[in-house]
Amino acid sequence: MAELAVEVRDLVKLYGPVRALDGVSFEVERGEIFGLVGPNGAGKTTTLRIVATLIKPTSGVVRVFGHDVVSEADEVRKLISYLPEEAGAYRLLTGREYLEFMARVYGAPPSVVEEGIRISGLGDAIYKQVRTYSRGMKRRLLVARALMVRPRLAILDEPTSGLDVAHAMYVRNVIKEYSREHGVTVLLSSHNMLEIEYLCDRVALIDRGRIVEVGVPRELIERYGAENLEEVFLKVVGR
């Protein structure tokens, strides 16, 4: 059996009396683009932050390439990059300077900066200060930062949230092409069902802290006699 990129078993996260995650289980295969999809507050970000070793689960087991995210957090961090939904970049640095700085943070060779510039597709704007960038340009820079180091696992929280159609399409294509070209496993979240349907090999539909369905987008749509993933979700949760 091939080594799994991510293994999540019976994951529970409590915030006081609030059960943010209630027995979440799923697996992500190596080289796969796997999406967590559901409404705001469903538990997507909490799950990603646990996988990224940023918060600890109340109970359950999460492994990244065989390493436990709690007891072997340092090993996990060597294998991943994480892009939060509300990530920012240093406004007074140029795009290139920001990528150079992040390469040093990751302990990566300077050559990855040129890769990041290519991924961003920002052209001459890479030499301008980040404070001059539109939201879409910033997001392209941040996605480039996450991918340029070729992590074994890229964790992306709502990577196209708030972007116009052109920038969102660019980011989606970059993620898909880079994963295919370099074998980077991607775990991402989105509330955009159409985006997930286009981008992901498999998806987990999550609602109120529970996984309600897992599968290949097209197969789920056919199984439920639906037009799209959003309709599948509504049928599954009974809304």
Q: Residues 24-82: pLDDT tens digits?
A: 999 999 999 999 999 989 999 999 999 999 999 999 999 999 999 999 999 999 999 99
Are 41 and 29 part of one and the same domain? yes
**The pLDDT value given to residue 239:** 63
| Total length of the chain | 239
Last residue of a domain, one of 99, 128, 150: 150
Amino acid in the structure at residue 60 = G
Residue ranges making up the domain that contains 109:
87-150
Which residues, 6+ apart, have CB-to-CB distance to 68 below 8 Å? 61, 62, 76
Q: Per the structure, how many domains does the chain have?
A: 2
**The pLDDT value given to residue 2:** 58
**The pLDDT value given to residue 7:** 98
Last residue of a domain, one of 108, 132, 150: 150
Are 140 and 159 part of one and the same domain? no
Beta-strand ranges (E) seen in 102-179 are: 153-157
Instruction: Indicate if the pLDDT at residue 1 is higher than 50.
Output: no
Two tokens at 213?
């369905």
Mean pLDDT within 111-122: 96
Query: Measured over all CA atoms, what is the biggest interatomic distance in the chain, rounded to whole angstroms?
Result: 52
From residue 101, how far is each of 23, 96, 152, 182 by CA, in Å? 39, 9, 21, 23
d(CA 146, CA 113): 11
Last residue of a domain, one of 134, 150, 166: 150
Write down the mean pLDDT value for the chain.
Answer: 94
- Asked if 148 contacts 100 with a C-beta cutoff of 8 angstroms, the reply is no
Q: For 67-71, 158-162, 170-174, which range has the lowest pLDDT when averaged over its residues? A: 158-162
Are 158 and 145 part of one and the same domain? no
